[in-house]
Amino acid sequence: MVLSNRLTSLGVSPHRKLADFVYQLKLKGVRVISFAAGQPGVPPYEGAVKALAEALEKDPYKVSSYGPSAGLPALREAIAEDIRDAGGPDLAPEDVTVVSGGLDGLQLVLSALTDPGDRVVVPEPAYGMYEYVSKFLRLKVEVCPQPSENGFQPDAECVAESLRNGAKAVIIASPDNPTGRVADRGVLKAIAEAAQESGAYLIYDEAYRYIYYEGSHYYLARDYPEVVIGVGSFSKDLAIPGFRLGFVYGPKEVITGVRRLKGILGICASVPAQYAAATGLRDPGFKDYLRRVLDIYRSRRDAAYNALKKYLPEVGAYLPKAAMYIFADFRPYLEKLGVDDVKFAFDLAEKKHVVMVPGQAFGALGKGFMRVTFVTQDEATIEEGIKQIAEYLREAGAL
C-alpha cells in the first residue's frame, strides 16, 4: 500500500463517481442536462473581472507576487466593511483572514481547533465535504438530524447534547447546501448558547450569505462573537468559484491560528483573485449585479419547483428561500422502482442523460432524496430535464 490509510479510508463519494460517469458521456458527444453542479449559472461580476484585468495590466509583478498570509489589507478591509454594512458584527480587518475558498477555510478552522480523535457535530444531510475533511483530520463525526419534516432545521437538542458531552465544534451552513433551508434564528441561537456553555465553537458556513430570494442573512457572530467562526466564500456571490477565494472571521485566537496555518499549508490565497474581490466587493455595481442574478435564479427556482410538482406529483419538495438547490424527496418513486437514490441517479444519467446528485452524497440521512441545482439551466431546459425524469419513471412503471 503506497497511499496513506488516512486517504484511502475516505472512499470515493457517489457524487465523484457520478461526475466521472457524466464526463465520459459528454466525451462521447452526448447532450446531458445536468442539475448536479454547485456552479453559479452566470458569469462573474463584471466589476471584479475588470479590476483584475486592470491590476494585471498596471503592475503584473505586484499582482503575481506572494501576498501576506492574512490576505491583502485592502480585501480584509473590504470584507470587514461589507459584513458590517450587511448587518453583521463590527469587524476590524485583523479579525479577518483571507483563504482559498470556503472549503479551505473550513479545513483550516478545523485544523486549528481540533486534534485527532476529537469530536465534531454535523447536522445532516449536509455539504459532503464536512465529513470528508473531518475524517481526513481523524475526527469523529457525530451526526444530528435536520429532517425534511422539520423544514431541514437542525435538531438543536441533539447538537447541544453532543456539545455538552465534549464535542469541540458544530458545523452549520445557512443558507444550506443541499437542502436550501435558512436556519431559524432561534435554532441557531440555542446551538450557539450550548456551544458557549460547553466551551465549544460553532463553525458557521456562510457561503450563500447573499443568495437569498426572500429575507436576508442573519450574521450569528454579531450576537455570539466569542463562539461563532464565520466561513465565507466568493464562489457564489461574485461567482468566481475557480478563483478559489474565501475568508474566515471570528475570535482572535482562532483567526490567528488559521492565519498561521494558512502560511504553513498554502502561503497565501491567490493574489490575483484578491485584487478582483477587493474592488468587486466595494463596487456599487456589485449589489445591482446581485439583484439581476437573483432575479434570474428566482425564476429558475420557480421553474424547477413548478415542474417537479407538475410532472412528479409524488416528489416531496420545498420552495427554497435561498441558495441554489431543491432537495427533493424521491422516496415514493424509489420504493416503486426498488432502488436507492444512488442507483437511480446512475440509471437516469445513463438512460435519459439527466443528472441529479443522490442524497446519500450528503450523508446517510440524505438517502432517498435527490439534489436538484436549479441555477445553471434556463427555464425551458429545466422543464425538459424534469419531463425526462418523469418519462423515465413512466417507462419503468413507477409513474
Ligand X SMILES: Cc1ncc(COP(=O)(O)O)c(C=O)c1O
Residues at the interface with ligand X (CB under 6 A):
38, 101-103, 127, 173, 177, 205, 207, 233, 235, 241, 246
CA 249/CA 79 separation, integer angstroms:
10
* Shortest Å, Cβ 357 to ligand X: 11
CA 301/CA 124 separation, integer angstroms:
23
Contact partners, residue 371, CB within 8 Å, separation at least 6: 35, 36, 178, 325, 326, 327, 328, 356, 357, 358, 359, 361, 362
Cell digits for 346?
A: 446512475
CA 127/CA 94 separation, integer angstroms:
29
CA distances in angstroms from 230 to 98, 282, 359, 392, listed in the order given = 12, 20, 26, 42
Nearer to ligand X, 125 or 246 (CB): 246
* Shortest Å, Cβ 166 to ligand X: 25
Phi, psi of 333 (to 5 degrees): -75, -40
CA 261/CA 183 separation, integer angstroms:
30
Nearer to ligand X, 103 or 258 (CB): 103
CA 277/CA 322 separation, integer angstroms:
22
* Shortest Å, Cβ 237 to ligand X: 10
* Shortest Å, Cβ 105 to ligand X: 7
152 contacts 176 by C-beta, under 8 angstroms: yes
Nearer to ligand X, 60 or 151 (CB): 151
3-state secondary structure 309-359: HHHCCCCECCCCCECCEEEEECHHHHHHHCCCHHHHHHHHHHHHCEECEEH
Cell digits for 238?
A: 461574485
CA 254/CA 248 separation, integer angstroms:
10
Strand order through the sheet with 119-124 = 96-99, 246-249, 228-233, 201-205, 169-173, 119-124, 140-145
* Shortest Å, Cβ 102 to ligand X: 3
Nearer to ligand X, 127 or 392 (CB): 127
Specify the DSSP class assigned to residue 366. G
- Which residues share a beta bridge with 172? 204
* Shortest Å, Cβ 250 to ligand X: 16
Nearer to ligand X, 47 or 128 (CB): 128
* Shortest Å, Cβ 66 to ligand X: 21
* Shortest Å, Cβ 151 to ligand X: 17
* Shortest Å, Cβ 108 to ligand X: 12
Nearer to ligand X, 146 or 177 (CB): 177
Nearer to ligand X, 78 or 398 (CB): 78
Nearer to ligand X, 205 or 329 (CB): 205
Cell digits for 61?
A: 509583478
Nearer to ligand X, 89 or 241 (CB): 241
